[in-house]
Amino acid sequence: MANVKFKIAICGGGVGGLTLAVALSKYPDIEVEVFEAAKCFTEIGAGVGIWPRAFKVLRKLGADLEQALLSRATDYEWTEEFVPSMNYRKSDQSDGAELFKLMTKGDLMRFHRADFHGVLLSYLPKSCKTHSGKRLVSYTQPTLPSNSPITLTFADGTTASCDVLVGADGIKSPVRGCMMREIAQNLSGEAATAVLSCIDPIWSGTTAYRTLICADKLRALQPNHRALREATMYLGKDVFILAYPISQGRYINFAGFILCADLVSTAYQEDTSHRRPFEGQWVGELTAKEFTDPFEGFEEDVKLLLECVEKGTLWAVHTVKHLPTHCYGRVALLGDAAHAMMPFQGSGAGQSVEDAYFLATVLGHPSTTLETVPRALAVYDKLRRPFSSDVALRSKLNGQLCALQEDVPLSKLGETLTKNWEWAWLSELDDTLEDAMKILDSTS
Ligand SMILES: Cc1cc2nc3c(=O)[nH]c(=O)nc-3n(C[C@H](O)[C@H](O)[C@H](O)COP(=O)(O)OP(=O)(O)OC[C@H]3O[C@@H](n4cnc5c(N)ncnc54)[C@H](O)[C@@H]3O)c2cc1C
């Protein structure tokens, strides 16, 4: 093994944490350990969509990994052409009406989450040590300029140490909590209160109804159902549904959303004092009846989908307030820990992937040493945080557009939605990575 320049602990083995671990394998002088709270590394049973911008990042992790992902994406062919990737309908009426087709440069990749996560897991290098059942509770970081190790404390009472800590520990992130408290210690009054107010996630005013539908069951009801062939959005006032095939057509991923207009419109605003918490569990089981009731009155296509539902889960979608920073000293946040957003651009996982690759690149840069880690993380914060914050706002707007809560005529909906979303297929992470390299090269 090459001389180790520093040891990184990644807390959280979700999409973001695993992408970071795989991306860091390119740098033999960085030692990597992953600590995951769950008993095993796994994902929930639902679909996940990945846009070309994020897929282009995943391709950089190696041709084998790319092929493995391609083989698990449903009905997917890589193309740089414009293709119809999602069908939009007005559906809160007995006769549904076609609205528009979303045309994107390259298609949306559609996965079963477990397949997507499983590919990343299978490409973890042997050199990367993984620990499951390790729920981080807190960390302590020596005050700069000390280079002494960071101490991690886990719920089982054990501890570990590292030189750099990355919190990829999801929306409830204890790493974010500790970081915000560290920052607030050096502030007082309103400034400290504002930073501390970023610790807890906030209910976005959105509830999501998620299930997987057996495609054969739907086919038996209607062999040519749209959702068997293409991603379809069924729009209604304050309520909409996304359905698309996954797992090589064996299942239909169904996600229905209900948006409380007043809360959604004020999400991410600085002043959060007026927001109300979600009453009840964030994730709960639903019977078929509980699941289908909110979508009563929707068109026949939706009725058929609902007939196939056996059970489902209700998710209170929470978000993280825009943070003042995504790093402090030798600690950084990525993915949902840093910027959990509403799911209406299918981009939360994609943004975790981008954060992870970006972080690996700045940490792996030859100029980054134990002493200069804070500088590398500051570059990550400077270039990535504005972008992910912007995606979060765009995602919120997509939700409002789909819930017909914005003052946009139906005839203009397609154009407005496309403009708001086209960053996901027209822009590339490479542009910002180049800027990062210039900064790091100039200071080497
Ligand atoms: C309804 C819905 C639909 C969505 N659809 C899409 C989509 O189509 N496309 C898309 O890109 N995104 C989508 N998202 C968003 C996406 O799921 C998340 O943004 C993504 O999973 C974030 O990845 P992550 O690795 O940052 O966090 P997570 O996936 O939450 O992973 C965090 C990991 O950290 C672990 N962990 C938690 N606490 C600790 C601890 N204390 N110590 C150690 N480990 C810990 C967890 O067990 C988990 O393994 C959707 C979200 C929702 C709610």
3-state secondary structure 142-184: CCCCCCCCEEEEECCCCEEEECEEEECCCCCCHHHHHHHHHHH
Atom of ligand 1 nearest to the CA of 12: 34
Cα gap 156→35, rounded to integer Å: 13
How far away, in angstroms, is 43 Cα from ligand 1 center? 9
Pocket of ligand 1 (CB under 6 A): 11-17, 35-38, 48-49, 135-136, 168-170, 174, 208, 210, 255, 315, 317, 335-336, 343, 346-350, 352
Mutate to test the pocket of ligand 1, among 36, 139, 278 (most ligand atoms within 8 A of CB): 36
* Cα torsion angle, 176, 177, 182, 184, sign: positive
Instruction: Give the angle 184-316-86 at the CA atoms, nearest 5°.
Output: 110
CB under 8 Å to 301, separation ≥6 — which residues? 89, 91, 96, 225, 226, 227, 232, 234
pLDDT (tens digit, 0 to 9) for every residue of the chain, 444 residues total?
569 999 999 999 999 999 999 999 999 999 999 999 999 998 887 889 999 999 999 999 999 999 999 999 998 999 999 999 999 999 999 999 999 999 999 999 999 999 999 999 999 999 999 999 999 999 999 998 899 999 999 999 999 999 999 999 999 999 999 999 999 999 999 999 999 999 999 999 999 999 999 999 999 999 999 999 999 999 999 999 999 999 999 999 999 999 999 898 888 877 777 788 898 899 999 999 999 999 999 999 999 999 999 999 999 999 999 999 999 999 999 999 999 999 999 999 999 999 999 999 999 999 999 999 999 999 999 999 999 999 999 999 999 999 999 999 999 999 999 999 999 999 999 999 999 999 999 976
CB under 8 Å to 363, separation ≥6 — which residues? 8, 24, 27, 30, 164, 373, 376
The CATH homologous superfamily for domain 6-78+109-200+321-412+437-442 is: FAD/NAD(P)-binding domain (3.50.50.60)
How far away, in angstroms, is 68 Cα from ligand 1 center? 21
Q: Whose CA is nearest to atom 3 of ligand 1?
A: 343
Where do the structural domains in the chain lie, given as residue ranges?
A: 6-78+109-200+321-412+437-442
How far away, in angstroms, is 44 Cα from ligand 1 center? 9
Give the pLDDT score at 76: 92
Give the pLDDT score at 443: 79
How far away, in angstroms, is 361 Cα from ligand 1 center? 22
How far away, in angstroms, is 116 Cα from ligand 1 center? 12
Mutate to test the pocket of ligand 1, among 50, 111, 246, 336 (most ligand atoms within 8 A of CB): 336
Q: Whose CA is nearest to atom 15 of ligand 1?
A: 348
Give the pLDDT score at 1: 56
Atom of ligand 1 nearest to the CA of 173: 38
207 to 91, 132, 259, 343: CA distances (angstroms) = 19, 30, 7, 11
